[in-house]
């Protein structure tokens, strides 16, 4: 396609170069001594909140009297226990009802709502201090890093998929929403021209209509960067393109947005103001349809430079299914380890690694070995003490009122950036299931299915496993490609291979299966696009697509029932 460079791209590159280099210099300076950086950031957080309700209850003033790092960390651990969200919920409720100075000085600027362990979402407070000095600065370095390794990443437009910045308000009027939406809304003025669509597009309530609008707007442009945390979204985008390609072409030719999709008049009007008829691009897209049986992103976005997406943990399963759909030289840039609770750091060299450098000068981290997590008093490791190759549960203390917070994530320490640890997300802590003491991990299940796929010469479109406590067995659900003649029979063979491989991976599983305390796993065949249908239903129920995560091994009857309804 004819290359159209983003207007003012030189300003973007210059601006990102300046702010990025400043933050990189701070990282390099602080990363020379992890222990000193951690002491400094913990003292700063405790000093900030020593006069709050939580600070007074937990003796922050006394902790700060410590004369050195070792004494500080010892006093901190003695006064505050390792905590879950439920431990902070009563304090957060006080903030939500208008009380100030409870977990931190003043009130939050926003609550980040995210899935909890129950059916009630977590409300994670975000302070102005953390947003400005933590998250925004890390975002600047993140943008700079992409530009450093792909100098032309900003030459075209960026397709960024985010949640709504504001979705509602707490009882006291403080808004709640998504950090991705807030970050995009507050992007520096010099960068506002990089996006392929205006922010209003994310206000479209209908799931399929939103994806239609995103792709209709993006496919007419020279996209050089895609930003979406979850790789399942890439699958969703391509499915939408397969279904509506001809409709896109007509819209692009006429400068319209199809009436077949449900978009409110106000949002439709806002979008239409940003587009013009483009018969030339429509002709290019029609020519692609004539040339290829299935038109892929590598055909209509041939200048694509970077895709920023999660690639660690179970998201790698989806990555394997989409990588070949994009231009060969596209850089897949690991999104970095972060969540609503904590923006932990950045991948510093995306051309060579998917490991996140922890920003120990921004957040205070603690660790417990994954094998020790069930002990009564497990040893807690500091960031300067963790060992390369070991796996840990990670805990964080942030300027937004979370103290020794259990992220419920298992990470592996993979190296060091100067003296700061580098980590890789492995799986959620709850990704380990134990019906009869087998402690089967999600990773073991994924690896067993991948083995069975190769043995059976089948590339499953999707799979998921569920633990059935009542019957002491696992249920495995598979979606096959359309060219499989007998999916039921093939599915049974795959389950048999998975079962045998799990016995190799897990001695306890082997023992429980041998004694029949664990019954044979059951096979279920899913209909076409089962995962996409499931995800759409979850979005309709209130999940945010940018945050949507699905463990591939679960003990969750509600979700299993949803997949039962998607069986052939």
Nearest to 563 by CA among 522, 518, 515: 522
CA 343 centroid distance within chain: 11
User: How sure is the predictor about 541, in pLDDT bands with cuts at 50, 70 and 90?
Assistant: confident
**How many Cα atoms are found within 13 Å in the side-chain-facing hemisphere of 276?**
2
pLDDT at 206 over 60: yes
- The single-letter DSSP state of residue 372 is G
3-state SS class at 412: strand
**pLDDT tens digit sequence for 286-315:** 999 999 989 999 999 999 999 999 998 877
Q: What is the 3-state secondary structure (H, E, C) of 236-249?
A: HHHHHHHHHHHHHH
With a pLDDT cut of 70, the percent of the chain lying above it is: 97
**Pick from 450, 213, 147, 458: nearest CA to 314:** 450
Q: Is the pLDDT of residue 196 over 50?
A: yes
pLDDT surpassing 70 at residue 121? yes
The pLDDT assigned to 538 comes to 86
415: left (phi over 0), alpha (psi -120 to 50) or beta: left
Q: How far apart are CA 453 and CA 465, in angstroms?
A: 15
Mean pLDDT computed over 361-372: 96
Higher model confidence: residue 76 or residue 429? 76
Is 90 exceeded by the pLDDT of residue 470? no
Exposure string for 1-28, b = 16+ CB within 10 A, e = fewer: beeeebebbebbbebbeebbeebbeebe
Predicted local distance difference test score (pLDDT) of residue 547:
62
Check pLDDT > 70 for residue 367. yes
| Distance between CA atoms of residues 416 and 413, nearest Å | 8
pLDDT interval class at 231 (50, 70, 90): confident
pLDDT at 94 over 50: yes
Is the CB of residue 359 less than 8 Å from the CB of residue 344?
Answer: yes
Nearest to 30 by CA among 363, 339, 398: 363
pLDDT of residue 116: 56
What pLDDT, on a 0 to 100 scale, did the predictor assign at position 406?
96
CB 235 within 8 A of CB 318: yes
The rounded percent of the chain whose pLDDT value lies above 90 is 70
Query: SS3 sequence, 261-287?
Result: CCCCHHHHHHHHCCCCCCHHHHHHHHH
Averaged pLDDT for residues 74-96: 96
Least reliable range by pLDDT among 95-104, 395-404, 420-429:
420-429
Categorize the per-residue pLDDT at 561 as very low, low, confident or very high, splitting at 50, 70 and 90.
very high
**Residue 422 host element (H or E):** strand 420-428
3-state SS string for 131-186: HHHHHHHHHHHHHHHHHHHCCCCCCCEEEECCCCCCCEECCCCCEEECHHHHHHHC
Q: Assess whether pLDDT exceeds 70 at residue 119.
A: no
Query: For the segment 150-171, what is each residue's pLDDT rounded down to a tens digit?
Result: 999 999 999 998 888 888 999 9
pLDDT value at residue 106: 97
pLDDT at 115 over 90: no
Give the pLDDT confidence score for residue 332 in this predicted structure: 96
pLDDT tens digits for range 234-243: 888 888 899 9
Interhelix angle 487-505/507-514, nearest 10 degrees: 120
> Distance of alpha carbon 183 from its chain centroid, rounded?
15
- 525-545 mean pLDDT: 86
- What b/e sequence results for 444-466 when a residue is b if at least 16 CB atoms lie within 10 Å of its CB, and e otherwise? bbbebbbbbbeeeebebbbbbbb
Q: How far apart are CA 31 and CA 20, in angstroms?
A: 16
The predicted model gives 518-543 an average pLDDT of 90
Report whether pLDDT(6) > 90. Answer: no
Decide the pairing of beta strands 473-479 and 522-525: parallel
| pTM to 2 decimal places | 0.84
Which pLDDT does position 213 carry in this prediction?
A: 95
Residues in the chain: 568
The rounded distance, in Å, linking the Cα atoms of 296 and 403 is 46
More confident residue, 192 or 563: 563
Highest mean pLDDT among 164-168, 515-519, 558-562: 558-562
Residue pair 210/201 in contact (Cβ under 8 Å)? The answer is yes
Model confidence pLDDT, tens digit, residues 383-418: 999 999 999 999 999 999 999 999 989 999 999 999
Q: Residue 65: which residues within 8 A CB-CB, separation 6 or more? A: none
Query: pLDDT band for position 15 (50/70/90)?
Result: confident
What integer is the mean pLDDT of 89-107?
A: 97
Asked if the model's pLDDT at residue 118 lies above 60, the reply is no
pLDDT category at 123 given cuts 50, 70, 90 is very high
Mean pLDDT over the full length of the chain: 92
pLDDT digits (tens, 9 = 90+) for 242-279: 999 999 999 999 999 999 999 999 999 999 999 999 99
The predicted model gives 165-180 an average pLDDT of: 91
Q: Hey, which bits of 312-355 come out as E strands?
A: 331-334, 345-346
In angstroms, the CA 403 to CA 45 distance is 10
Nearest residue to 407 via CA among 344, 315, 474: 344
Mean pLDDT, rounded, for 3-19:
77
Averaged over 522-527, what is the pLDDT?
97
- What torsion do the CA atoms of 231, 23, 50, 103 make, to the nearest 10 degrees? -20
């Amino acid at each position: 396609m004819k290359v159209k460079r983003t207007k003012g791209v030189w300003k973007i590159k210059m601006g990102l170069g300046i702010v990025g280099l400043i933050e990189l210099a701070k990282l390099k300076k602080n990363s020379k001594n992890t222990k000193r950086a951690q002491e400094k950031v913990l003292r700063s957080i405790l000093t900030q909140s020593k006069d709050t309700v939580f600070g007074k209850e937990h003796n922050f003033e006394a902790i700060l009297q410590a004369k050195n790092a070792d004494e500080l960390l010892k006093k901190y651990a003695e006064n505050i226990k390792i905590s879950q969200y439920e431990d902070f919920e009563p304090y957060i409720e006080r903030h939500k009802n208008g009380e100030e100075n409870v977990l931190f000085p003043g009130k939050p600027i926003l609550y980040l709502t995210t899935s909890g362990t129950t059916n009630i979402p977590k409300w994670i407070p975000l302070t102005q201090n953390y947003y400005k000095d933590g998250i925004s600065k890390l975002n600047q370095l993140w943008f700079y890093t992409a530009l450093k390794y792909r100098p032309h990443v900003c030459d075209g437009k960026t397709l960024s998929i985010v949640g709504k910045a504001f979705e509602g308000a707490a009882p006291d009027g403080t808004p709640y929403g998504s950090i991705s939406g807030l970050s995009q809304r507050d992007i520096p003025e010099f960068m506002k021209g990089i996006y392929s669509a205006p922010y209003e597009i994310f206000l479209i309530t209908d799931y399929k209509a939103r994806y239609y609008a995103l792709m209709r707007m993006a496919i007419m442009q020279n996209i050089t960067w895609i930003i979406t945390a979850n790789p399942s979204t890439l699958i969703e985008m391509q499915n939408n393109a397969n279904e509506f390609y001809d409709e896109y072409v007509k819209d692009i030719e006429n400068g319209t947005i199809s009436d077949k999709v449900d978009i409110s008049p106000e949002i439709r009007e806002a979008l239409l103001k940003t587009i013009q008829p483009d018969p030339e691009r429509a002709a290019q897209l029609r020519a692609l349809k004539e040339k290829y049986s299935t038109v892929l992103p590598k055909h209509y976005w041939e200048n694509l430079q970077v895709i920023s997406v999660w690639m660690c943990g179970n998201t790698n399963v989806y990555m394997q299914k989409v990588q070949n759909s994009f231009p060969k030289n596209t850089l897949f840039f690991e999104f970095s380890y972060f969540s609503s609770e904590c923006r932990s750091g950045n991948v510093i060299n995306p051309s060579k690694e998917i490991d996140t450098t922890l920003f120990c000068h921004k957040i205070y981290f603690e660790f417990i070995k994954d094998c020790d997590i069930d002990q009564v008093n497990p040893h807690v490791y500091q960031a300067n003490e963790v060992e390369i190759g070991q796996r840990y549960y990670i805990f964080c203390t942030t300027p937004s009122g979370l103290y020794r917070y259990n992220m419920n994530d298992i990470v592996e320490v993979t190296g060091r950036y100067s003296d700061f640890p580098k980590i890789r997300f492995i799986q959620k802590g709850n990704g380990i299931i134990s019906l009869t003491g087998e402690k089967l991990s999600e990773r073991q299940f994924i690896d067993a299915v991948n083995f069975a796929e190769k043995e059976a010469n089948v590339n499953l479109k999707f799979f998921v496993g569920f633990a059935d406590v009542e019957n002491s067995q696992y249920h495995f659900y598979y979606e096959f490609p359309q060219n499989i003649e007998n999916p039921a029979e093939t599915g049974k063979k795959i389950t048999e291979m998975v079962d045998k491989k799990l016995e190799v991976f897990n001695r306890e599983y082997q023992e429980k299966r041998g004694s029949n305390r664990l019954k044979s796993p059951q096979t279920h065949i899913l209909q076409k696009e089962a995962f996409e249908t499931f995800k759409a239903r979850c979005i309709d129920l209130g999940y945010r697509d940018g945050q949507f995560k699905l463990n591939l091994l679960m003990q969750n009857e509600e979700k299993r029932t949803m997949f039962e309804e998607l069986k052939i």
